[in-house]
């Protein structure tokens, strides 16, 4: 676990937003995109971490920038197929994602490219009980952390592989409420804190 100077509480968390590339699956080299099914490799422990969130009754939503669609490298149908394949893989391991949301647009051409809030608002339309106060954003880039803070969510930055860190990662680390090395570590810490706070409130 990386150190963090920002105090927070995990009580009341009902929705976790996850970035995709670098959080769920191996990130491609900077400037490259997951453009074939062979490129999409789920990171170790991710399915089990998502299953733990499912078991705890926490909604899991994936929010991802997929600029490759605007650049003509990918199609929206291909991205959806990758997400369907991800769902199929983790279902076999007792886990599921409740919703996938992605921005297919180029920079400065929409309101849904993170850090802009459009993907959050799309999720709220599908799940009206979502609140910023009850949500956590987990990502590995500055845009993920800015997206989370921009709508009032608590945020977790993932360190990931030093070779695949995104530009301005130092700013993301400093801005995030908490920092961990991987999604499994972040989920374990989140759930442990949630249990402790629940127990404390019962005995208060």
* pLDDT score of 197 more than 70: no
Contact 48, 89 (CB under 8 A): no
Residue 202 pLDDT level (bands cut at 50, 70, 90): very low
Q: What is the pLDDT of residue 190?
A: 94
CATH of region 15-202, choose from 3.40.50.1820, 3.20.20.220, 3.40.50.1000, 3.40.50.300? 3.40.50.1000
Residue 203 pLDDT level (bands cut at 50, 70, 90): very low
Which is higher by pLDDT, 199 or 145?
A: 145
Give Cα 101 to chain centroid, integer Å.
11
Residue 165 pLDDT level (bands cut at 50, 70, 90): confident
- Among 168, 162, 164, 163, which residue's Cα sits nearest to residue 144? 168
Where in the chain are the domains? Answer: 15-202
Q: Contacts by 82-86 with C-beta closer than 8 Å and gap 24+?
A: 82/34, 82/37, 82/40, 85/37, 85/40, 86/24, 86/25, 86/40, 86/42
Q: What is the pLDDT of residue 8?
A: 55
Q: What is the pLDDT of residue 6?
A: 44
pLDDT tens for each residue of 57-105? 999 999 999 999 999 999 999 999 999 999 999 999 999 999 999 999 9
Please give the backbone phi and psi of residue 176, each rounded to the nearest 5 degrees, phi first: -65, 150
* pLDDT score of 199 more than 50: no
DSSP 122-154: HHHHH-TT--GGGEEEEESSHHHHHHHHHTT-E
Residue 196 pLDDT level (bands cut at 50, 70, 90): low
Catalytic residues: 19, 21
* pLDDT score of 195 more than 80: no
């Amino acid at each position: 676990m990386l150190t963090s100077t920002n105090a927070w509480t995990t009580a009341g968390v009902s929705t976790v937003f996850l970035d995709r590339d670098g959080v769920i699956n191996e990130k491609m080299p900077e400037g490259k995109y997951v453009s074939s099914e062979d490129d999409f490799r789920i990171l170790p422990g991710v399915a089990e971490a998502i299953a733990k969130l499912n078991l705890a009754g926490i909604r899991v939503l994936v929010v991802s920038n997929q600029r490759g669609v605007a650049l003509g490298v990918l199609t929206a149908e291909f991205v959806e197929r990758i997400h369907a394949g991800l769902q199929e893989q983790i279902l076999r391991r007792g886990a599921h994602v409740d919703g996938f949301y992605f921005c297919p647009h180029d920079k400065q051409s929409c309101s849904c490219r993170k850090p802009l809030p459009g993907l959050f608002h799309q999720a709220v339309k599908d799940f009206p009980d979502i609140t910023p106060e009850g949500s956590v954003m987990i990502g590995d880039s500055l845009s993920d952390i800015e997206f989370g803070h921009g709508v009032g969510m608590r945020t977790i930055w993932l360190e990931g592989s030093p070779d695949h860190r995104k530009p301005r990662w130092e700013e993301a680390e400093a801005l995030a409420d908490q920092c961990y090395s991987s999604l499994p570590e972040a989920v374990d810490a989140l759930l442990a804190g949630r249990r402790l706070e629940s127990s404390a409130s019962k005995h208060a």
